[in-house]
Structure 1
């Protein structure tokens, strides 16, 4: 979830690695340079265990970021190990060297780039407006003059303020509070990260629909690494190969078939 300018040579991002159901207490050995990675080292990928990035169905791991990481690991010739933790713990774990990369729908931002390196993008941020089923909001211009709820402190809050000048922002402490604002009539819509709206709609006490979904092409999603990690070039190459050989588009269609294709990837043969 997040914001910035498309960058990087090649195509998509990330390497695969993380300890399924693992812990940080006994970190796996890591491939510390390109030579060891090519020789079959291990890459530890930090994930937050949230659908659609990384989750399990009947004990089997699934997820868009998970499959992208597997593809990258294969391209690098390394063993992926997935380490599951809360999203807020991912960056400290990366800084401490407990994981090698983050693969959790992380939006590249200028602030984050000050402290971390980002691979080539493997997705972009998709934004959505959740509304009541009978709402007259059908396209982006319809939100002008409306009360729009956001989760306080999120990237979506800043993006809404920057891109929509004629909306009244209603701050909520979390997703459920934002839905409550719609239910009470305080908000006409809830602006949020599209890949994560399905469970919100499912548990909402009122009937909601995803009235608008669109890609934010200036908010790429990338794998995150420590500054100066020279494996980034390998990951970028693996991502580029996945885009050009059609594997990226196959994975995208499996998890986000209904999402319009971002301009970021149209010129990559996708």
Structure 2
């Protein structure tokens, strides 16, 4: 998945000491056999959930922000990318089982997830939104308190609801369409999801929906997810940092998320 940046020597010196929530890459360790094998060829298996604009197809051509970011990573490693599409809730199980090498589906880094997995340096920071029926009276964040809110099972949104809102009843759905069906059936008043991914959901929904609330989440970095202590992580961190510094990340961000302002996280990195 590929997507996004510029800097001068002075900024590079600042970048070396800057810590964005502990997300900058550690100094690269000595190359291991696994790293060397990846750099010499090999295959990098990336798990994705097939959600636009992260990973999707148009007239048989694969596109997507995360898709192009992953392509950039694989190219930097000298590895062949292999994408495996599955439901979001199955991605972590597949990673644990060794069926994929990393997850590239807009996964938010959390303390809970870091207990079991490693995250690369961030390649995106998301925006959150609530989808509601067009005639809904939900118009501001305070209106969410006391409501039934659908989330996709396995995503970070359930925890966000508990932390940021009061007396919310969480309705878990297998996927985005399941969350929309919960609204259509009256089980849910709203669907809490990442704003960059709501346009295709609204378009294919069987009922008229609107994006009632949108707000940034600069404290929610998104990175590729890997097994604990995978020696390739340091190499991937370096590649992502270079994609940011040389402007490739920014080009992809503008292509897929032009309506969203640049996060302070990436401004600090020289974007």
TM-score (structure 1 length as normaliser): 0.78
C-alpha distance in structure 2 between counterparts of 1:237 and 1:49, whole Å: 26
Q: Which position in structure 1 is the counterpart of 2:116?
A: 115
C-alpha distance in structure 1 between counterparts of 2:170 and 2:231, whole Å: 43
Query: Which of the two has greater helix per residue?
Result: 2
Q: Tell me by how many angstroms 1:134 deviates.
A: 5.4
Tell me if the contact between 1:6 and 1:121 (Cα under 8 Å) persists in the aligned partners: no
Q: Which position in structure 1 is the counterpart of 2:87?
A: 86
Q: Tell me by how many angstroms 1:70 deviates.
A: 0.8
Quickly say closer, same or farther: Cα 1:225–1:252, change in 2 above 3 A. same
Give the secondary-structure state (helix, strand or coil) at the position aligned to 2:120. Answer: strand
**2:95 paired with 1:100:** no
Tell me if the contact between 1:146 and 1:188 (Cα under 8 Å) persists in the aligned partners: no
Q: Tell me by how many angstroms 1:111 deviates.
A: 2.0
C-alpha distance in structure 1 between counterparts of 2:152 and 2:56, whole Å: 26
Q: Tell me by how many angstroms 1:124 deviates.
A: 2.0
Tell me if the contact between 1:148 and 1:187 (Cα under 8 Å) persists in the aligned partners: yes
C-alpha distance in structure 1 between counterparts of 2:211 and 2:157, whole Å: 16
Q: Tell me by how many angstroms 1:235 deviates.
A: 0.6
Q: Tell me by how many angstroms 1:145 deviates.
A: 5.2
The count of corresponding residues between Structure 1 and Structure 2 is: 242
Tell me if the contact between 2:25 and 2:238 (Cα under 8 Å) persists in the aligned partners: yes
C-alpha distance in structure 2 between counterparts of 1:261 and 1:175, whole Å: 29
C-alpha distance in structure 2 between counterparts of 1:189 and 1:84, whole Å: 27
C-alpha distance in structure 2 between counterparts of 1:75 and 1:169, whole Å: 44
Q: Tell me by how many angstroms 1:139 deviates.
A: 4.6
* Aligned alpha-carbon RMSD (Å): 2.7
Q: Tell me by how many angstroms 1:92 deviates.
A: 2.5
Q: Which position in structure 2 is the counterpart of 1:261?
A: 262
TM-score (structure 2 length as normaliser): 0.77
Q: Which runs of 5+ in 1 are unaligned?
A: 12-30
